Structures are given as structure tokens and as C-alpha cells.
Structure 1
Amino acid sequence: MGMILLGGAIMNSAEVHPFGDPGPTAEEVCQQLERILSSGEFHSSERGRRFLQFIISETLAGRSEFLKAFTIANDVFGREVSFDAQNDPVVRIEAGRIRRRLERYYLVAGQTDPVTITVPKGGYVPRFEYSHRPEVPASLAPSPDAVQDVEAVDHERPFPGPGRSKLLIALVAGTFLVIAAALYSFLAPERSVSGGAIPGTSPTEASAPKVVVEVFGNGRPVDTTFDIAHGLRDEVIGQLAKFDDVVVIVDPSRAEGAAGYALQGNIQLDGERLRSVARLVRQFDGAVIWANNYDADLRAQSKLEIQSDVAEQIAIAVAQPYGAIFQADTDTIARQPQSGNWDAYACTLAYYSYRRSMSAQSHNTARDCLQRATQRFPKSATSWALLSLTYLDEMRFHYKLGTSSSVQPLELATSAAERAAALAPNNARVLQALMLVSFFKEDIDKALQAGAAAYAINPNDTEVAGEYGLRLAMSGKWQSGCELVSGAVNKNAGPKGYYEVGMALCALMRNDIRAAELWSRMSDLDYNPMHRLVLLSILGAAGKPADAKQEQDWLVAHAPELMNNIRREVSLRLQRPEDQDSFFSGLRALGIAIEPPQPE
């Protein structure tokens, strides 16, 4: 890729480095752009590359005020002068796509690059910063692209609304508590819930859910939909294969009843409007357990872009840890008669059921199941990884689970994670366990390295992306971390209400108290007393002592030990002293005493 020529380029310091310190030169920015475009980890179409080159070139030339949807559509996408941004979202869609591509690049390949290029939301003017500049807390930095936190993702993917029913969440949690208890007895490994064993596979492998991806239907064998249908199926297969917890079967004739599910789809074309229809069918009874439609405009996206975007959404909905397959399998296992047998996948379901209900009973069920699974299937890396996370929860959620706060759970979690890593060092779930164990052992560099590796393996694994985002944010990398947490919430990552408290912290740290309170109240406050402590700090910062007293009274009644160890619990999660002080300031405003730091 050749260097962009920028004759007489002038940098506008008010736009490209808003923190007041000197930003990168035009030459350094161009070198960074060339580095990005030449990287195999920057996954963007040719049109997206032209878009990025154009907005950077115009900004460096001092013409950033002209970077509007109309001018970009005309200069980059060849739209006519009659272009209407309200009816043709091509520029907005491409900008959102570029933001995600840049985010992925810096998380996976560009962590040591000298210059960071971002495109802040709310406009199309890029921002250039030195990567080694000490990160300034968002609460202290001016934000020219300030957006309400409830709009902190691309407009084409809105957040779930704040009216989420707490009653429904409580009912779901209660249902999964019953399911978790039923999971203590399981099916024999030779006949799992997702289908019979495939000859030649081990019991551990045979127990994983199997999905046969059928040929997608289309209109006529020679029209545009024929190519898109075949391309979409290939993309779906590729995206599903990134999930270690499912087995993808490509040839339906060779499934021989082994697949538990069939993924079916078809393509419909109406002028320039394209509709993709997908559904997941349970094989043993023909029940449709999930279905969705995806609409696209061929004027705004190429066929390849449509295939990639739709396949990503299908894979996330179907195969993520709290997606359609796992919900259906959990319900099915809960109805099985108690047989005294279990398999590794059933214990995986027990783990996710426990994480939804977050009770002592479901925790014990999952822990005991995973302990037995690792004894029976000692080469099941996923079982070891989930056992590590279950042990770790005895420390980080001990106020909720009623477990000891001793260091023993951390030691057990470390041992299990290391065993998992020895078996499958490139498994995303294993790397997730290593990340969390390392983070709570305060080995932040190792934690973030493991998180980056897990995210690179499968960016569509919402649990990996969300947990990695939380660790980035809480280690002080608020901008990149909060972007990932925001994306996880937008993709309905589970457990419900878990990542919303992360969004509340993100808003609190940038001093957006109104958004912080909104996100905190959307979180599941009963999931962990720490969620209520976050809300208490926010209410103190908001100057709402009456509301704060309700939360403080609840904490005193239900988690008195937490109120006596606030500094310890907060410092376990927020690594930087300045972030801890921002959190403590809201509590101090309410007259809550914070114990002094322990001498080193």
C-alpha cells in the first residue's frame, strides 16, 4: 500500500489531540495508516479502506469540518448530488464498521503500535494519539464526540431499552435454579442431549452439541440470490467453527442422525432489498427453537459484506454461551430422568445455569459436576477451564455465595486453569480462565495478553469479549475496554444484567453520572452485592442521599462484611489508585468511611 500524499497538510490540534498534549505528526499518522492497511488483522473491504484513507487525508489537510455524510458519500462511494443521508445510511454503516475494524486491529495486532487512530462516535473526524501517552481518565478529558451512554454503540445496533422487566429476570433466574438442581444427574456420554455419538469420537467430544448446516435456499439457480445463499452458508460455517463448544457438520448426508440441530436458511430478493431468513431446528422432534430475519440493502453493502454481517449475527445468536443451543439443551437435560450418569457437556450447561441464577445451591451443583467431569474426562480442557472459573467465583462473588474469602479458591482456580492451558492453549474458554485468574492475582500484563489472545480466536464469543472488555477497563484502559463491554451488551451477552454494571462504571469514570445511574439500575442488583456498592457510589456522586440510604441499608443487612472491606474489594477490581479514588469519592460524599490502604 503506497503512502498517501498530503501536500501541505496541516493538523488541527483541537480536533486530533483533544487532551492538550502534542499529537502525532502527519507523517507519523500516515505511517500508522499504512501499517494498519497492510496488516492481515485489519479486516475491511476495499470501500472501507477508501473511507478510512479519505477521512484521514481530509483531516490532516485541515478540512475536517467538511467531513459530512454528503461529502463522503459523493467522494468515496460515488453517490449522486441527490444523495439523502436519511434514506441512504451507507456512510453511517461504513463508519460503524470501520470503528469495529480499528478496535479489533488494536486489540489483536496493534497493541504496541506508536500511534492510535480512532473514529469517535457522533461524527466522521478521526482522532490521532500517541499510544504511549499516559491514559487520561475519561472523567478528566473533554469529549467533543460526547454521546449519551445509552447510545454508546453504532446507531444501526441499538441497545436493549431500559424498561427490561425485573420480574421476568427473577422468573428466569428461578427457572434456572430448578434446572441447575436437575443437572446433578445426567445422561450417559454415549447418548448426549444433542445427538448420538459419532463413531470414532471420544465421550467428551461426542457430548458437545452438533449442528448440521444445510444448504441455504434461494430464488433461481442463476440469479444474485444463488451466489449469496452459497456464500452465506460458507460464512456461517466459518463463524460457527470458531466456537469450541459446538461441533459443525457440513455434509448433511454424513450426519446419520448424529446432529442434534439443523441450521436452515433461505434468501429472498426484492429489487435492491435482500432478506436472509434463518432458523435452528431440533432434530429429534422437529421443533424450531430459534428463527430470525436479516434485511440488507444492496445499494449500501456489497454481497460479501452482507454475508459476513449476517453470518456473524447468526453465529452469535445460535452458539454463544447463553445462545439458542445452550438454552434448548439446558431445558432438555432438566427434563431427563435421573440416571446417575453425567458428561462433560452437561456440566458445561450446569455452569452456565449457575451463572444465571448465582445461588449457593447452583454453584455447588456446578462445582461438584465439573470436579467429577475432570476426573472422568481428564483431557476435557473446557471442563478444567470452567472449574477454574467456578473456584474463582468463590473469591470474587463470596458475599453472594456465602463462601470463604480465603486465598485457597484462587490457588485452586490457578491450578485448574494451568491444567486447561496445558491441554488446549488455543481454546478461547481456557484463555478466558487464564485471563481472570491472572487479573485477580494482579498479574495484569499476563491477564490482558490472555484476553487479547482469546478475543483474537473468536471475537464473536460475547462472553470472551465482555470479560476482556471489563479487564481492560478496570486496568485503566477505559476507552477500549468500554467499547468491548458496550458491544457485549448490544449483542445480548449473558448473564442478563451482568455487563450493565460494567457500563455503569464506564459512565462513572467519565463523570457521566446520569448515564451511570441508568446503567446501574438496569443491572441485576441482586446478582452480586458489589453491583449495589457501585450504585451506592453513583448515588453519592449524584447527590441523592435518600436513594443512597436504601442501598446502604440493604448492604448493611445482607453484606455487612463488604461494608467493612470496601477498599479491599474495590482495589481487587480497579487497578489504578486514581480510579479507586473516583469510586470512593461518591461513597465519601455519603459519609461512608473508607479504610486506609494497607502498608506494603
Structure 2
Amino acid sequence: MLVETFDDLSGTEASRSIAKGLTQEIVGQLSKFKDIIVVQSFDKRVASSRFVLAGSVNLSADAFRLRVMFFNRADGSVLWADSYDGEMKVSALLKTEANIAQKVATSLAQTYGVISQADASLHVSNPPDDWAAYSCTLSFYAYRANLNQKALPAVRACLEKAVERFPGYATAWGLLSQAYIDEIRFLYPPDERATSASIALALAAARRAVELDPLNVRALQAEMFALYFSKEIEAALLVGKRALSINPNDTELMGEYGYRLALSGGWDDGCQLVEEARTRNPGPLAYYETALALCAYFRSDYPQAVMWIRKATVPGSANYHTIAAAIFSEGGYEADALRERLWLEENAPGLIKNLQQEVANRIVRPEDVDFFLGSLKKTGLAFQD
């Protein structure tokens, strides 16, 4: 991505300074996303830039306005545009510039942001190997958007081929690790041998990703997942916290780390991160809404939990229906709880058979596990205690 120096429309010393400061702040925030190479007009790589971010700054008596436009360099099509206002108070100017830069970077570069959406809809004829490898990462995000388990084997195979062709591609290694974890997260009934093998593969792939690029957030997110499902909870949370400090604008990571933090007992701090991730993420929201439903459930706010779980329609996910059953049961919504129980009995008998272990694999504190299972028992679900 080429970031052009923003135009100064006012022609004053103050406006020139603000235009330059905003340009540099946005370059810095975008550079935290490791899949994006950010260049400026003096860089020799300008010719290969696929996208351009341009903008202008205009001053009034006590405020400024930044207008930004993001477009495809090949055909000039505008993919995104927005404007941001800020006060001219010296004491607040640096903070205002940083806040605007974070908003721009998040809108463009996060997992389901403008760039990802533009590439997901792009069809390349006879793609070169590097584009084919990159498209594997896009296919992973498409799979995660709706958690279609039938798509997972093809996504895993694509990523395995990508790291074979490009063994230095840290992001692909990280996503491959998450694909291995997803194989056990959604496998009912569980296979202990397959679970152990998948966790070992996930840890190895995640650590390879981190070794290749210690600042790659997807790599660190994968390591967090692999450690969490290996029951190394404290280590997992430390990795997640470090990753978020590297790029606080990555809402995909923010939501996943927040969810792990909440499930491990840090409900207040974790749920706050999930809420912020949902607010800032333009992508699929059902995953966040299911998490927020669980957050409300564990603070005994059942009307709020019901509101979130009704918004988060994930019809094919057994995890969603399990959480919904607990919420409806504990909140006194008997007809809804019965509907969820019948769905689970028909569609996820393997999950019910091993329900206590599956819940304990995700929720860390024994008292939280017991409370959740108690809610499920109220629905009439029969499972081994």
C-alpha cells in the first residue's frame, strides 16, 4: 500500500504540521499489520503498490478535518473513503492524531477490513504461486466467517500446500495451526489420539510461525490457541496479551484474546475486550455476540444474554446451541430451552455424550463449569456427570 503525504489545503504552518503528523501516524499504525507492506512516495517499491491511501487536511479556527480516500491503483476505483474531525488544542493534538490513525488502520487492515474484502472478491486468472498462497489465507477467513466444517479439510490442505511452497510465510503457518485446533474444537465425539496429534501439529506450526516472525499477530494468536487447548492457560494468556500490545488495532486478535481471558475467569476484562472488538470489527459478528451472550449469562443478566444469543444466529454450530440452551434454561425461557435441547439431541449426540469434558476444555474455572452444566441439566439433557 502506498500512503501519500496528505495534502495541506489551508497552507499554514499548523496545517502542514498536522498533515505531516497524520501521515506518519497512519503509516506507523498500518505497519503493525504484518501482511501489509506500507510504502511512501520516496520508496523505490512505489511502482509495485496495489493500493493507495490519499487524503487532505483543512483547518478552521479551532478544528481540523482529515478526508481520506483508499483506492485501487490499477483502475482508480475508490474502495473506501471517510472523514475525521479533531480539535486544534495543543494538549490534545497528538492523542487526536493517534486516535484517528488507529481508526483508519483498523478500517483498512483488520482481518475483515477493506483490503481483505477487496481481495476476497478478486478473481485472478492463472494466479502466480505467491497469490495462490495468499488466497489460502483468505479462504481460511471465509471459513471462519461461518464456521462451515465441511470447508475445513480443503482449507487445511490449501494452507499445508502454501507453507510447503513458501516455508517462510509466517501468517500461513499461524492459520494452519488454527486449522489444526479447529479440527478438535468441533469434532464430536472426540478422538483422543486425533486430539493429541492435532494439538502437537498446532503447537509446532504456531511455534514455526513465531520463529519466522516474532511480531506477527496471527502467529502469536495461533500460539495462544494451541497453548490454551493444551491446558497451558497462563502461558496462553501471556502470549495473547503480548500480541495485543504489539497491535491493539487488530480486532480479530482482540476478540479471541478477550474470549480466552473471559473463559479463564477474567470475565470483566475479557468481556470488555470482546465488546470493543465487536464494535470495531466490520466482519461477521455472530461469534462476538455468542461470546457476549455468555458474558451476560455468567453475570446473571439473563435478559441481556437472551438478547445477544437471539442476535447471534449460527444455525449449524453445536457450540452456539449449547450456549443458547444454557441461557434459555437459566433465564426461564422453557420453550426456547426445549428447542435447543432437541436440536442438540438430533444433531450433536457425540457432543452430549462427552459434554462435561467438552465444556471443561473451554471454560477453565470448575465453579463456572459446574454452573454451566447445571443450566444444561435443567433443559433435560442427559449426559454423564
TM-score (norm 1): 0.61
**Which residue of structure 2 lines up, in the alignment, with residue 336 of structure 1?**
124
**Which residue of structure 1 lines up, in the alignment, with residue 344 of structure 2?**
555
Question: Structure 2: where are the runs of 5+ without partners?
Answer: none
Instruction: Say if 1:455 and 1:464, in contact at 8 Å, map to a contact too.
Output: yes
- 1:481 and 1:564 map into 2 onto residues whose CA distance is 30
1:579 Cα shift?
Answer: 0.9
Name which of 103, 106, 125 aligns with 1:313: 103
SS at match of 2:356: helix
Q: C-alpha deviations, 1:209-230, integer Å up to 9, x for none?
A: xx11011122222153322211
Instruction: Say if 1:388 and 1:414, in contact at 8 Å, map to a contact too.
Output: yes
**Which residue of structure 1 lines up, in the alignment, with residue 206 of structure 2?**
417
1:385 Cα shift?
Answer: 0.9
Name which of 11, 34, 38 aligns with 1:248: 38
| CA shift in 2, pair 1:576/1:423, >3 Å | same
The amino acid across from 1:222 in the alignment is T
Instruction: Say if 1:539 and 1:548, in contact at 8 Å, map to a contact too.
Output: yes
Q: C-alpha deviations, 1:261-296, integer Å up to 9, x for none?
A: 001112233443432221211111111111122233
Question: Structure 1: where are the runs of 5+ without partners?
Answer: 1-210
**Which residue of structure 2 lines up, in the alignment, with residue 540 of structure 1?**
329
Name which of 1, 6, 10 aligns with 1:220: 10
Does residue 106 of structure 2 align to residue 347 of structure 1? no
Aligned length: 382
Q: How does 1:98-497 map to 2 (within 5 A)?
A: 211-251=1-41, 254-298=44-88, 302-332=92-122, 335-337=123-125, 341=129, 343-398=132-187, 406-407=194-195, 408-492=197-281, 494-497=283-286
**Which residue of structure 2 lines up, in the alignment, with residue 584 of structure 1?**
373
**Which residue of structure 2 lines up, in the alignment, with residue 525 of structure 1?**
314
The amino acid across from 1:345 in the alignment is Y
1:431 Cα shift?
Answer: 1.0
**Which residue of structure 2 lines up, in the alignment, with residue 126 of structure 1?**
none
Instruction: Say if 1:279 and 1:292, in contact at 8 Å, map to a contact too.
Output: yes
Instruction: Say if 1:353 and 1:362, in contact at 8 Å, map to a contact too.
Output: no
| CA shift in 2, pair 1:585/1:403, >3 Å | closer
- 2:376 and 2:149 map into 1 onto residues whose CA distance is 29
The amino acid across from 2:361 in the alignment is L
Q: C-alpha deviations, 1:546-572, integer Å up to 9, x for none?
A: 111222222222222222222111111
The 10-residue stretch of structure 1 (301-310 or 564-573) with the greater mean CA deviation from structure 2: 301-310
The amino acid across from 2:285 in the alignment is K
- 2:146 and 2:273 map into 1 onto residues whose CA distance is 24
Q: C-alpha deviations, 1:35-74, integer Å up to 9, x for none?
A: xxxxxxxxxxxxxxxxxxxxxxxxxxxxxxxxxxxxxxxx
| CA shift in 2, pair 1:357/1:336, >3 Å | farther
Q: C-alpha deviations, 1:304-342, integer Å up to 9, x for none?
A: 12111110000000001111001101111xx22355845
- 2:46 and 2:73 map into 1 onto residues whose CA distance is 11
Instruction: Say if 1:213 and 1:252, in contact at 8 Å, map to a contact too.
Output: no
Q: How does 1:6-17 map to 2 (within 5 A)?
A: none
SS at match of 2:8: coil
The 10-residue stretch of structure 1 (322-331 or 487-496) with the greater mean CA deviation from structure 2: 487-496
Q: C-alpha deviations, 1:463-511, integer Å up to 9, x for none?
A: 1111111111111111111111111111126433111111111111111
Identity %: 38
SS at match of 2:68: strand
Q: C-alpha deviations, 1:399-455, integer Å up to 9, x for none?
A: 5xx996731322221221122223223322111111000000101111011111111
SS at match of 1:245: coil
The amino acid across from 2:376 in the alignment is L
| CA shift in 2, pair 1:404/1:493, >3 Å | farther
Instruction: Say if 1:239 and 1:315, in contact at 8 Å, map to a contact too.
Output: yes
Instruction: Say if 2:31 and 2:38, in contact at 8 Å, map to a contact too.
Output: yes
Instruction: Say if 1:236 and 1:314, in contact at 8 Å, map to a contact too.
Output: yes
- 1:525 and 1:565 map into 2 onto residues whose CA distance is 22
SS at match of 1:485: helix
1:543 Cα shift?
Answer: 0.6
**Which structure carries more helix by proportion?**
2
Instruction: Say if 2:146 and 2:314, in contact at 8 Å, map to a contact too.
Output: no
